[in-house]
Amino acid sequence: MTTTRTDGRTERGNQTRRTILERAVAIASVEGLEGLSLGRLANELAISKSGVFALFGSKEELQLATVRTAIKIYIQHVVQPARDLPVGLARVWCLCRNWLTYSERRVFPGGCFFYSVSAEYDAREGKVHEAVARAHSSWFTLVEQTIDEAKVAGEVRVAVDAAQLAFELIALLEMANAESVLHDNFTCYGRAAAGALSRLRDAATNPLWQPDRP
Protein backbone atom coordinates (compact mmCIF):
# COMPACT_ATOMS: atom_id res chain seq x y z
CA MET A 1 0.00 0.00 0.00
CA THR A 2 2.82 2.40 0.91
CA THR A 3 4.59 1.62 -2.37
CA THR A 4 1.40 2.30 -4.32
CA ARG A 5 0.94 5.68 -2.63
CA THR A 6 4.60 6.56 -3.23
CA ASP A 7 4.39 5.58 -6.90
CA GLY A 8 1.27 7.71 -7.27
CA ARG A 9 2.93 10.76 -5.74
CA THR A 10 6.00 10.24 -7.91
CA GLU A 11 3.93 10.05 -11.09
CA ARG A 12 1.95 13.16 -10.13
CA GLY A 13 5.20 14.96 -9.46
CA ASN A 14 6.60 13.87 -12.81
CA GLN A 15 3.44 14.99 -14.60
CA THR A 16 3.54 18.36 -12.85
CA ARG A 17 7.18 18.75 -13.85
CA ARG A 18 6.33 17.95 -17.49
CA THR A 19 3.46 20.45 -17.45
CA ILE A 20 5.69 23.18 -16.05
CA LEU A 21 8.45 22.53 -18.59
CA GLU A 22 6.01 22.47 -21.52
CA ARG A 23 4.93 25.96 -20.52
CA ALA A 24 8.50 27.05 -19.78
CA VAL A 25 9.85 26.19 -23.24
CA ALA A 26 6.94 28.05 -24.84
CA ILE A 27 7.59 31.18 -22.76
CA ALA A 28 11.36 31.05 -23.26
CA SER A 29 11.08 30.76 -27.04
CA VAL A 30 9.25 34.10 -27.09
CA GLU A 31 10.59 36.01 -24.08
CA GLY A 32 13.89 34.27 -23.42
CA LEU A 33 15.03 32.21 -20.49
CA GLU A 34 15.15 35.33 -18.31
CA GLY A 35 11.38 35.54 -18.77
CA LEU A 36 10.99 32.44 -16.62
CA SER A 37 10.34 32.50 -12.91
CA LEU A 38 9.05 29.96 -10.41
CA GLY A 39 6.34 32.37 -9.30
CA ARG A 40 5.12 33.14 -12.79
CA LEU A 41 4.81 29.48 -13.73
CA ALA A 42 3.05 28.71 -10.46
CA ASN A 43 0.51 31.47 -11.11
CA GLU A 44 -0.08 30.60 -14.76
CA LEU A 45 -0.51 26.89 -14.08
CA ALA A 46 -2.37 27.27 -10.76
CA ILE A 47 0.31 25.35 -8.87
CA SER A 48 1.65 26.33 -5.47
CA LYS A 49 4.93 28.21 -5.63
CA SER A 50 6.34 25.91 -2.97
CA GLY A 51 5.47 22.95 -5.18
CA VAL A 52 7.32 24.45 -8.14
CA PHE A 53 10.27 25.30 -5.91
CA ALA A 54 10.36 21.73 -4.61
CA LEU A 55 10.65 20.45 -8.18
CA PHE A 56 13.35 22.86 -9.39
CA GLY A 57 14.88 24.63 -6.39
CA SER A 58 16.07 27.73 -8.23
CA LYS A 59 15.52 29.81 -11.34
CA GLU A 60 18.82 28.58 -12.78
CA GLU A 61 17.81 24.93 -12.40
CA LEU A 62 14.46 25.76 -14.02
CA GLN A 63 16.31 27.37 -16.94
CA LEU A 64 18.64 24.37 -17.31
CA ALA A 65 15.72 21.95 -17.21
CA THR A 66 13.98 24.07 -19.84
CA VAL A 67 17.01 23.83 -22.14
CA ARG A 68 17.14 20.05 -21.65
CA THR A 69 13.45 19.76 -22.49
CA ALA A 70 13.89 21.89 -25.61
CA ILE A 71 16.77 19.64 -26.72
CA LYS A 72 14.51 16.57 -26.49
CA ILE A 73 11.80 18.28 -28.54
CA TYR A 74 14.37 19.46 -31.10
CA ILE A 75 15.79 15.96 -31.51
CA GLN A 76 12.29 14.53 -31.93
CA HIS A 77 11.35 16.94 -34.71
CA VAL A 78 14.65 17.66 -36.48
CA VAL A 79 17.21 14.95 -35.83
CA GLN A 80 15.42 11.66 -35.26
CA PRO A 81 13.59 11.44 -38.62
CA ALA A 82 16.88 11.85 -40.48
CA ARG A 83 18.44 8.92 -38.62
CA ASP A 84 16.11 6.55 -40.44
CA LEU A 85 17.77 7.41 -43.77
CA PRO A 86 21.03 5.92 -45.04
CA VAL A 87 24.08 8.17 -44.98
CA GLY A 88 24.32 10.50 -47.95
CA LEU A 89 22.95 13.74 -49.30
CA ALA A 90 19.37 12.67 -48.61
CA ARG A 91 20.14 12.63 -44.89
CA VAL A 92 21.76 16.08 -45.05
CA TRP A 93 18.74 17.44 -46.90
CA CYS A 94 16.38 15.76 -44.44
CA LEU A 95 18.03 17.63 -41.56
CA CYS A 96 17.60 20.92 -43.42
CA ARG A 97 14.00 20.20 -44.40
CA ASN A 98 13.11 19.06 -40.89
CA TRP A 99 14.61 22.21 -39.40
CA LEU A 100 12.64 24.48 -41.71
CA THR A 101 9.43 22.58 -40.98
CA TYR A 102 10.09 22.71 -37.22
CA SER A 103 10.54 26.48 -37.38
CA GLU A 104 7.70 27.18 -39.83
CA ARG A 105 5.15 25.07 -37.92
CA ARG A 106 6.12 26.83 -34.70
CA VAL A 107 6.86 23.77 -32.62
CA PHE A 108 7.97 26.52 -30.24
CA PRO A 109 5.73 29.60 -30.54
CA GLY A 110 8.70 31.93 -30.86
CA GLY A 111 10.26 30.03 -33.75
CA CYS A 112 13.48 28.13 -33.13
CA PHE A 113 14.03 27.92 -29.37
CA PHE A 114 17.80 27.76 -29.72
CA TYR A 115 18.07 30.67 -32.13
CA SER A 116 16.23 32.78 -29.57
CA VAL A 117 18.13 31.76 -26.44
CA SER A 118 21.51 31.71 -28.21
CA ALA A 119 21.14 35.42 -28.94
CA GLU A 120 20.09 35.98 -25.33
CA TYR A 121 23.02 34.13 -23.77
CA ASP A 122 25.82 34.46 -26.32
CA ALA A 123 27.82 37.05 -24.33
CA ARG A 124 27.01 35.76 -20.84
CA GLU A 125 28.80 33.34 -18.58
CA GLY A 126 27.58 30.54 -16.36
CA LYS A 127 25.85 27.17 -16.51
CA VAL A 128 22.95 28.30 -18.67
CA HIS A 129 25.31 29.84 -21.24
CA GLU A 130 27.30 26.60 -21.28
CA ALA A 131 24.18 24.47 -21.79
CA VAL A 132 22.96 26.66 -24.65
CA ALA A 133 26.44 26.75 -26.24
CA ARG A 134 26.74 22.96 -26.06
CA ALA A 135 23.38 22.48 -27.73
CA HIS A 136 24.30 24.96 -30.48
CA SER A 137 27.70 23.33 -31.07
CA SER A 138 26.15 19.86 -31.14
CA TRP A 139 23.85 20.91 -33.97
CA PHE A 140 26.71 22.34 -36.04
CA THR A 141 28.77 19.21 -35.39
CA LEU A 142 25.91 16.94 -36.40
CA VAL A 143 25.39 18.71 -39.73
CA GLU A 144 29.14 18.71 -40.45
CA GLN A 145 29.46 15.02 -39.58
CA THR A 146 26.47 14.15 -41.75
CA ILE A 147 28.12 15.94 -44.69
CA ASP A 148 31.39 14.09 -44.03
CA GLU A 149 29.48 10.79 -44.00
CA ALA A 150 27.93 11.69 -47.35
CA LYS A 151 31.45 12.38 -48.62
CA VAL A 152 32.62 8.92 -47.51
CA ALA A 153 29.55 7.44 -49.20
CA GLY A 154 30.71 9.05 -52.45
CA GLU A 155 27.82 11.49 -52.76
CA VAL A 156 29.74 14.67 -51.85
CA ARG A 157 32.85 15.83 -53.66
CA VAL A 158 36.10 15.20 -51.81
CA ALA A 159 37.13 18.86 -52.17
CA VAL A 160 34.06 20.12 -50.31
CA ASP A 161 34.83 21.68 -46.92
CA ALA A 162 32.20 20.07 -44.69
CA ALA A 163 32.49 22.69 -41.95
CA GLN A 164 32.02 25.53 -44.45
CA LEU A 165 29.03 23.87 -46.11
CA ALA A 166 27.44 23.20 -42.71
CA PHE A 167 27.92 26.86 -41.78
CA GLU A 168 26.27 28.05 -44.99
CA LEU A 169 23.32 25.66 -44.70
CA ILE A 170 22.65 26.59 -41.09
CA ALA A 171 22.94 30.29 -41.92
CA LEU A 172 20.16 29.88 -44.51
CA LEU A 173 17.94 28.05 -42.04
CA GLU A 174 18.44 30.58 -39.28
CA MET A 175 17.83 33.53 -41.59
CA ALA A 176 14.48 32.03 -42.58
CA ASN A 177 13.56 31.67 -38.92
CA ALA A 178 14.62 35.22 -38.08
CA GLU A 179 12.77 36.77 -41.03
CA SER A 180 9.58 34.84 -40.37
CA VAL A 181 9.52 35.78 -36.69
CA LEU A 182 10.40 39.43 -37.22
CA HIS A 183 8.17 40.11 -40.23
CA ASP A 184 5.54 37.35 -39.94
CA ASN A 185 6.38 36.48 -43.54
CA PHE A 186 6.74 32.78 -44.27
CA THR A 187 7.88 33.00 -47.92
CA CYS A 188 11.45 33.00 -46.61
CA TYR A 189 11.20 29.26 -45.87
CA GLY A 190 10.88 28.49 -49.56
CA ARG A 191 13.85 30.72 -50.30
CA ALA A 192 15.96 29.00 -47.64
CA ALA A 193 15.00 25.57 -48.96
CA ALA A 194 15.93 26.61 -52.50
CA GLY A 195 19.25 27.97 -51.28
CA ALA A 196 20.06 24.82 -49.32
CA LEU A 197 19.24 22.59 -52.28
CA SER A 198 21.43 24.73 -54.53
CA ARG A 199 24.38 24.39 -52.16
CA LEU A 200 23.88 20.62 -51.88
CA ARG A 201 23.75 20.23 -55.67
CA ASP A 202 26.98 22.21 -55.95
CA ALA A 203 28.57 19.83 -53.45
CA ALA A 204 27.21 16.63 -55.01
CA THR A 205 29.35 14.27 -57.05
CA ASN A 206 26.29 13.89 -59.28
CA PRO A 207 25.33 17.37 -60.55
CA LEU A 208 21.85 16.06 -61.39
CA TRP A 209 21.16 14.98 -57.80
CA GLN A 210 17.65 15.70 -56.60
CA PRO A 211 16.01 14.85 -53.26
CA ASP A 212 13.31 12.18 -53.32
CA ARG A 213 10.72 14.80 -52.42
CA PRO A 214 10.70 18.62 -52.22
CA geometry: angle at 126 spanning 17 and 71, to 5°?
45
Nearest to 70, CA basis, from 119, 130, 117: 117
- pLDDT value, residue 214: 47
End-to-end Cα, the chain, rounded Å = 56
The answer to whether residues 67 and 132 touch, using CB atoms and an 8 Å cutoff, is yes
How many C-beta atoms lie closer than 10 Å to residue 182's C-beta?
Answer: 10
- pLDDT value, residue 107: 97
Nearest to 42, CA basis, from 32, 31, 34, 54: 54
- pLDDT value, residue 127: 96
The answer to whether residues 147 and 160 touch, using CB atoms and an 8 Å cutoff, is yes
Domain limits, the chain = 2-203
> For each of the chain's 214 residues, which pLDDT tens digit applies?
555 555 676 777 788 999 999 999 999 999 999 999 999 999 999 998 888 888 998 999 999 999 999 999 999 999 999 999 999 999 999 999 999 999 999 999 999 999 999 999 999 999 999 999 999 999 999 999 999 999 999 999 999 999 999 999 999 999 999 999 999 999 999 999 999 999 999 999 998 898 876 4
Kindly give, in sequence order, each residue whose CB lies less than 8 Å from that of residue 44, ignoring residues fewer than 6 positions away: 23
pTM above the 0.85 mark?
A: yes
DSSP state of 86: P
Amino acid at 28: A
**Is residue 151 classed exposed, middle or buried when 0-12, 13-18 and 19+ CB atoms within 10 A define those classes?**
buried
The answer to whether residues 81 and 63 touch, using CB atoms and an 8 Å cutoff, is no
**Any idea which fold 2-203 has?**
Tetracycline Repressor; domain 2 (1.10.357)
